[in-house]
Amino acid sequence: EPEVTQTPSHQVTQMGQEVILRCVPISNHLYFYWYRQILGQKVEFLVSFYNNEISEKSEIFDDQFSVERPDGSNFTLKIRSTKLEDSAMYFCASSDMGANEKLFFGSGTQLSVL
């Protein structure tokens, strides 16, 4: 069964450094998302991406965050200057139908900011 692949599975970085989290969505999917989950808290929506542009973003997704689909297969989340509070599990997801259809999530990247 096709799956969403995320790399790396763990990322440790120093505060203020830039990180790029990578995702390979399911190949025929058109909608892409990033979510995050701080330890012990809810899964939170960050951003959705369709047709090579952001379609919606949450308040969490400020100017320090950006997303890109640099080629036909990868989808990335960049955090320009990491903060301690950015430490979380980041999940990439994709779907083929958009609204009200199921999301396929990757296994996540655990980001630790020291």
Which residues lie near another protein (CB under 8 A)?
Answer: 4, 31, 33, 41-45, 48, 50, 55-56, 58, 91, 93, 95, 97-108
Closer Cβ to another protein, 19 or 23, answer by number = 23
Q: Which residues contact residue 110 at a Cβ distance below 8 angstroms, ignoring those fewer than 6 apart?
A: 9, 10, 11, 88, 89
Strand partners, 24: 5
DSSP H helical ranges for the chain: none
3-state secondary structure of 60: coil
State the nearest-atom distance from the C-beta of 113 to another protein, in Å. 19
State the nearest-atom distance from the C-beta of 30 to another protein, in Å. 9
Closer Cβ to another protein, 5 or 66, answer by number = 5
State the nearest-atom distance from the C-beta of 91 to another protein, in Å. 5
Are 13 and 19 a contacting pair, CB within 8 Å?
Answer: yes
Closer Cβ to another protein, 82 or 109, answer by number = 109
